[in-house]
Each structure stands twice: as structure tokens, then as C-alpha cells.
Structure 1
Amino acid sequence: MDLAQRLLYRGRPFTGEVEEYLGGVRVSLESYVDGLPDGPGREWYEDGSPESEMTVRKGRAVGVAKRWHPNGVLASERVFSEDNGALLAVREWDEDGLPT
């Protein structure tokens, strides 16, 4: 990372996908353009079930971001504006799927 918090590869801002593995299991996948998160991002629990997904444009969340409990029940949805990434709405559920 540089001082502007851009991801670098061989000293240059990185464009492409970054995968993270834990014990041989993929636990995250993020897209970058010119060193900034840009595009879909996903995380998985070690058992392969989804943990979160969101879309980022130029480092800011846009659209709907989702997170799941380890049991597979949707834990939250956060809605971000498409133009500036402002948080517009939040919905959350407990592990039984009941609104909190």
C-alpha cells in the first residue's frame, strides 16, 4: 500500500483480482483498478459458505452490500448510493432470521 492507501504491485498501482486463502481455502476475492477497490468483492467462511458480498467503485461501496451469519441466514443488508457511496438504508437480522 502507498500513502494514498492504493494497493501496489511491483511499485505500481494494481489492477486485477486479489484472492486470499486460509489453510488452502479461498476466503476472499476483491477487484482493483489503479490500486483502488473497484468491482465485486466477496468473502467466504472457511467451510465455503458466503460471509459477505458488495460492489465498490473507486474505493466506495455502491448498491447493496450483504453479510451472512455462519449458519447461512442473512445478517444484514446495507444500501449505498450509486453516485457517492452514501449509506441510504440498513437492515439487520439475527441468526434465526428475525429483524433486529
Structure 2
Amino acid sequence: MTEEAARIDIDDPEVDMDDAQRLLYRGVPFTGEVTEYLAGALVSLDVYADGVPHGLCREWYRDGTPRSEGVVRRGLPRGESREWHPDGVLSRRQVFDADGLTLREDDAWDETGRLTRSWRCPAEET
């Protein structure tokens, strides 16, 4: 038998934040999925562990088009994250190191898909 993952709505009146900025549900650091709805449409879904973002984080525009997607570990971004314009065209791509503190790549595109920025972290000298 598998246990269903806990899921709460961020607008639930029993959701709060503590002084350490951890998400609490009924006074306890929350582990599970946190959703947000706008006019009945799911606009975000984030995974939390012990009150801190830890897993896949996704956002959508109200029409269901992806808005952003990335992974966080203990509240810090890891690996590749992406953002899209409302029409579905990729608007930004970032790549973070395993430490979650170092940005390695940062690319941006305008609404037509034209690259407007491309940055790479300089290689460290050994």
C-alpha cells in the first residue's frame, strides 16, 4: 500500500511562516506539495520538506501554459531552471551548481525567440 503525498493550498488559513521562513501547516513545518490557484486555475505547484522548498517547483499561466520550472534543494536552486513567455516561447534558462549558490549559465530570449543575453560563469583557474 502506498501513502498518498500530502497536498495543501498556500491560501489555506492554517498555512503560516515561522521566524526562520519555513512554511508551517497547523503549526508544524510542512512536507509535501503546496499548490496555488488563481480563479480556479492551478498556477503553482511546489514540493516542500520540513517547511523548506525541496524538489520540483512549477508555475503556469492561468491558461495552463508553463511559466517556470526548476528544482530546489533545501531552498536553493539546483541544475537547470526555465521560464517561458505567455505564448510558450522560452524566455530564460539558468543553470546552477550543486551548491545552489553559483550561477553557471544564464540565457534570455525575447518574445520572438531572439537571444538577448548569454552569460557563462568564467572557468576557475587551477
* TM-score, with length taken from structure 2: 0.77
- What's the CA shift string for 1:38-75, capped at 9, x where partnerless? 00000000000000001000000000010000111000
Cα distance, 1:69–1:4 mapped onto 2, change above 3 Å: same
Larger radius of gyration: 2
Cα shift at 1:13:
0.5
Match of 1:87, as an amino acid?
A: L
Identity %: 56
Which residue number corresponds to residue 87 of structure 1? Answer: 103
Aligned-residue CA RMSD in angstroms? 0.7
Structure 2 stretches lacking a partner, 5+ long: 1-16, 117-126
The answer to which of 85-94 and 14-23 deviates more is 85-94
Within 2, Cα distance between the matches of 1:58 and 1:95?
32
**Does 2:112 correspond to 1:96?**
yes
What are the superposed Cα offsets for residues 3-56 of structure 1, whole Å, 9 maximum, x if unpaired?
100000111110000010011110000000000000000000000000000100
Match of 2:61 in 1: 45
Matches within 5 A, 1:28-67: 28-67=44-83
Asked if 1:5 corresponds to 2:24, the answer is: no
**Number of the residue aligned with 2:9:** none
Relative distance call for 1:48 and 1:8 in structure 2 (3 A) is same
Number of aligned residue pairs: 100
TM-score, with length taken from structure 1: 0.97
Query: How do 1:9-28 and structure 2 match up within 5 A?
Result: 9-28=25-44
2: CA distance, partners of 1:85 / 1:63: 11
Structure 1 residue runs of 4 or more that deviate by more than 4 Å after TM superposition: none
Equivalent position amino acid for 1:72 in 2: G
The AA in structure 2 aligned to 1:31 is V
AA aligned to 2:76 is: R
